[in-house]
Amino acid sequence: MTAAAPVEPASHSATLAQRGVVAIVVLAAVESIAAAMASRDPSASAWPQLGEQVEARDDADPVIVAQDWLGPVARLHVLSASAFDAVARPDLHGVPRFHVIGWADDGEVAIARDLEGLPMPTLEHRRRFGPLVWTTWVAPQAGTLVEDLTAATVSMRVATDAGSCRGRGSFRCDEGTIESRIAEIDYRPRRCVGLSVQDGTTVRMMWPSARLGDVLRGHVGIADYNARLRNDAPITIAVLIAGVEVHRATVTDLQGWTPIAIPTTPSVTAVEIVITTALSGTFTGQGYDPTPSRLTCVELRSLTGGG
């Protein structure tokens, strides 16, 4: 005779049923909250409207995204916000007018990070699109760009202690490579000339006929998160105009995007940057390992009226 299957107590069956009902209610609540959040998502209505109007503007001024965390979404809807001049800007010198788009009214915070001595620009327009804000700013004291030397790598000449480097625009040297890059410096993207070379290499970057305004402005930084943690050895940088040294500095990992500002006389003359790298590897139980090399980045622009 087959034994009868055990019968679950009524209280246990009721408990399972109650748990099932609770799970269904919780799932329905989560889906309702998600649907409500989706209905408030600015991409449903605000982003297309904002993007259409920003792209229809009648100027070519840069469009800056106010919050870094919003950048990937903003650049999907506002194509001009993807331009290198906006995404990997060195600072706001030489930019007399620009736009800022972002979540709420945080435009001033984004601007303050890149003023580097400039007075706060004047607000020209503010337009709202739901939670998104588009502001336009005018900075008459920012000056104007005469020439972006490190963007003009075709006219640049590069040499190391081993001799002239091969290439035009992108250079191959015995000690490594020198070429235009977008690099992370101090947790932000920057457009610069990147030097990926061996320890102790001295790199000379020359522009035989650079156009100068009344200030030569630039930055130097080291692009490697792990290098900053290790606090690698510093680099030295010198700037020469017409063969005369006008600037020299020692820069460490922890200094981030270090500015350079040199008063100049408007002219067409030779400009040279000389950078010497130091140790960038690590010391292990087997001795010094030079392989985790870091990337030194430099940018230089001539401006007029930029102070």
For residue 22, being part of any structural domain is answered with no
Cβ(281)–Cβ(233) below 8 Å:
no
Q: Which domain holds residue 92?
A: 43-142
User: Do 272 and 134 share a structural domain?
Assistant: no
User: Do 296 and 168 share a structural domain?
Assistant: yes
pLDDT digits (tens, 9 = 90+) for 137-162: 999 999 999 999 998 777 899 999 89
For residue 26, being part of any structural domain is answered with no
Task: Please tell me what DSSP assigns to residue 139.
Answer: -
User: Do 128 and 104 share a structural domain?
Assistant: yes
- pTM (whole model) above 0.85: no
* Tokens linked to 289: 């390992």
Domain count, the chain: 2
User: Do 132 and 177 share a structural domain?
Assistant: no
Spatial separation of the C-alpha atoms in residues 90 and 88, rounded to whole Å: 7
Amino acid at 31: E
Q: What tens-digit pLDDT sequence spans the chain (307 residues)?
A: 445 545 445 554 445 445 444 444 444 444 444 444 444 554 568 999 999 999 999 999 999 999 988 999 999 999 999 998 889 999 999 999 999 999 887 678 789 989 999 999 999 999 999 999 999 999 999 999 999 999 877 789 999 989 999 998 899 999 899 999 999 888 889 999 999 888 889 999 999 999 999 999 999 998 866 656 655 678 899 999 999 999 999 988 778 899 999 999 999 999 999 999 876 666 667 776 666 567 899 999 999 986 5
Q: What is the distance of C-alpha 54 from the center of its chain?
A: 22
For residue 11, being part of any structural domain is answered with no
Question: Residue 151: its pLDDT value, please?
Answer: 86
For residue 16, being part of any structural domain is answered with no
Cβ(178)–Cβ(275) below 8 Å:
no
User: Do 300 and 225 share a structural domain?
Assistant: yes
- CATH number, domain with residue 183: 2.60.120.680
For residue 102, being part of any structural domain is answered with yes
For residue 9, being part of any structural domain is answered with no
Domain end call among 122, 142, 162 = 142
User: Do 196 and 251 share a structural domain?
Assistant: yes
For residue 33, being part of any structural domain is answered with no
Cβ(307)–Cβ(117) below 8 Å:
yes
pLDDT digits (tens, 9 = 90+) for 78-100: 999 999 888 999 999 999 999 99
User: Do 162 and 295 share a structural domain?
Assistant: yes
User: Do 165 and 289 share a structural domain?
Assistant: yes
User: Do 299 and 154 share a structural domain?
Assistant: yes
Inter-CA distances, 62 with 50, 136, 197, 212, 298, Å: 15, 10, 33, 23, 22
User: Do 122 and 209 share a structural domain?
Assistant: no
User: Do 223 and 170 share a structural domain?
Assistant: yes
User: Do 94 and 72 share a structural domain?
Assistant: yes
**Close Cβ partners of 258 (under 8 Å, ≥ 6 residues apart):** 219, 220, 221, 249, 251
For residue 192, being part of any structural domain is answered with yes
Domain end call among 142, 160, 180 = 142
Domain end call among 80, 108, 142 = 142
